[in-house]
Amino acid sequence: MILIYLLKVSACTLMFFAAYQLLLARLTFFNLNRIYLLLMLVLSFGIPAVTIENHQEVTVASQEIPSKIAYSNDGVIEQDFEDEGSAANNSLNWDQLLMYGYSSILIVLVFRMLFVMVRIQIQLRKHAIDRSGTVILVDEKSTIKNCSFFNQIIIDSSLQHEEKNLVIKHESVHVEQLHIVDKLLVNLVAAILWFNPIIYFWRNAIGHNHEFLADRETSKVADKKVYAFLLLNLAMPEKKILINSFSKLPLKNRIMMMYKEPNAQLQKLAYIAIIPVLVICCMAFINRKEIIIEKKLTGNRASADAPAKPNVYAMNYLKSNIKVNPNAAFNEVEPTLVIDAGHGGKDGAIAALDGQKEKDLNLRAVKILKEEAEKRGIKVILTRNSDQFISLRDRLPKQEATAFISIHHNATLANAAVPFDGIEVYVSKLNSNIKTAEDLGAGILSNLKQLKGMEVRDSLKNANLLLLRESKIPAVLIELGNISDSKTLDYINQEKNIRRISNLILDGFVAFSKRGC
């Protein structure tokens, strides 16, 4: 997200500017300070934009369940008819509101900068009384005088000849050293980072350094006392952010720097102290992306020296959440599966090519899944067993259970991307039990990949859905296929295929429950 990136940029500017103030601001190496201020400003934007990929090869046995989790948002995602839709929209609106607010202020500040530049040119045309090369003489009524703007040097015509020469000498340094480029850059950055107070101090530091450079060159050809007196005599508050004024308040630092003895060359070692600050910023704000490359073995065992995968059941999820009656004949946990048929009642969702509504297809599949589960002795709880509307929060399991599965079907919506035609398994990265949900989903997915006649996505997908996000037990959502595709619809309309899919789902659930218990 762009705002997160800008916050990282702001953090970099804070660290670099703090280092400047503590180590470099009082040194008389003005050219080096100029380089530092400009270079660190660019690096503040560059460091958070860098991503370092770390490739790690993991060897797994061929029968091991897949662990690749694809957090993508392609295809059609189920939207809640009531709760989920409003929650998702509210979240989206907040993100959009922040982005719109930031962008609006940025646009205003950029246009303000352009307006100031145009207004300066208008003022010069209005009050200019003489021009000689790059030097423009203006009348006493002009608010823009004794300054430089791009390659133009603006002088008050009422000044004495010697005073004019000193001002011209001073402003010529700004023009020759292209200080306007620094000003344009820092003012553009100030518009981008308008919320960051550090950038305004940074802009002032660049302006002060410009004046130190010009004062040093001017004092080489002029008496320092006469020059300092002229600075005090012509001092005025700075009003324009894009011009270099000859004498703007406050003047204390300028006069002190002008009389200060140059620092010894050995003190340039202070710039080496910036390296640790640069390293810290790189370590803190460079993005890192872990890429795990799975290398499967054809044998039954992985090599002994291969990195072991973490056991997601290290916390023994089921034992820590289900209480077993100590007086029972057997201390065994009965696997309980909560199954949800998506949509229902007034929430009909979408329609298939043959006119069937998704809510009815979901309920049909859930009832078949329940029948197959009961054949195995698995306790099943349905969130709905008829065509009725139930809000998402009411669908969330209210009792302890082993897992929660929500059944849906996909479809191609108007003006939308064509979804994946096959079966997909979703989890939510925002769920506090994401590791157990991933294990459940990966186990189900591993078994579904044995299915013939319909494609199965080879990795889990992430979805910010209320049922997945807020479930207190491991939860997955399964899309059983695209009902806008005739081939897929023909396949899932056959009961034997739904029973086959149901048993593969149950195989994954049983393996999950055994590992947990």
Instruction: Please report which confidence band the pLDDT of residue 247 belongs to, taking 50, 70 and 90 as the band edges.
Output: low
């910036």: which residue's tokens?
Answer: 274
What's the pLDDT score for residue 516?
A: 59
- Closest alpha carbon to 223 in 149, 273, 282, 162: 162
What pLDDT does 54 receive?
Answer: 78
Q: Strand 379-382 to strand 244-245: parallel, antiparallel, or no bridges (unpaired)?
A: unpaired
Q: Is the pLDDT of residue 90 over 50?
A: no
CA 79 to chain centre: 24
Residue-wise pLDDT tens digits, 324-333: 344 433 334 5
* pLDDT confidence band for 514 (50 / 70 / 90): confident
217-226, 239-248, 385-394: least confidently modelled range: 239-248
| Rounded average pLDDT over 345-369 | 88
Provide the CA 424 distance to its chain's centre, in angstroms: 26
**Beta carbons of 214 and 171 less than 8 angstroms apart:** yes
Helices (H), 134-223: 161-176, 179-192, 198-219
Confidence of residue 255 (pLDDT cuts 50, 70, 90): confident
Q: What is the mean pLDDT of residues 293-322?
A: 45
pLDDT at 338: 94
Handedness of CA 238, 239, 240, 246 (dihedral sign): negative
**Helix/strand/coil for 455:** coil
Bridge partner list, 37: none
Structure confidence by residue, pLDDT tens digits, 99-157: 889 999 999 999 999 999 999 999 999 999 999 889 999 998 888 888 899 999 999 88
Average pLDDT, the chain: 82
* Residue 75: per-residue pLDDT: 43
Which one is predicted more confidently, 32 or 75?
32
More confident residue, 177 or 416: 177
Bridge-based pairing state of the strands 152-156 and 147-149: antiparallel
Task: Give the model's pLDDT for residue 320.
Answer: 36
At 323, is the pLDDT very low, low, confident or very high (cuts 50, 70, 90)?
A: very low
pLDDT of residue 242: 65
User: Taking 50 as the threshold, does the pLDDT of residue 286 lie above it?
Assistant: yes
pLDDT of residue 306: 47
> Looking at residue 297, what is its pLDDT?
59
Q: What angle do CA 239, 242, 246 make, to 5 degrees?
A: 65
Percent of the chain with pLDDT over 90: 51
User: What is the per-residue pLDDT across 366-410, written as a single tens digit (0 to 9) for each?
Assistant: 999 999 999 998 999 999 999 998 988 889 988 789 999 999 998
Q: What local confidence, expressed as pLDDT, does residue 249 receive?
A: 56
pLDDT of residue 314: 37
| Weakest-pLDDT range from 257-271, 299-313, 354-368 | 299-313
Band of residue 53 on the pLDDT scale cut at 50, 70, 90:
confident
Task: Annotate 65-99 with DSSP letters as a single string.
Answer: PP--EE----S-----SSHHHHHHHHHHHHHHHHH
pLDDT digits (tens, 9 = 90+) for 463-508: 889 999 999 999 999 999 888 888 999 999 999 999 999 999 999 9
Cα angle at 389 between 383 and 392, to 5 degrees? 60
DSSP secondary structure, 234-303, as one string:
T-B----TTSEESSBS--HHHHHHHHSPPPPGGGGGGGGGHHHHHHHHHHHHSEEEEEEEEEEESSSS--
Do the Cβ atoms of 476 and 405 come closer than 8 Å?
A: yes
Strands 424-427 and 51-61: unpaired
How much is the average pLDDT of 218-240?
80
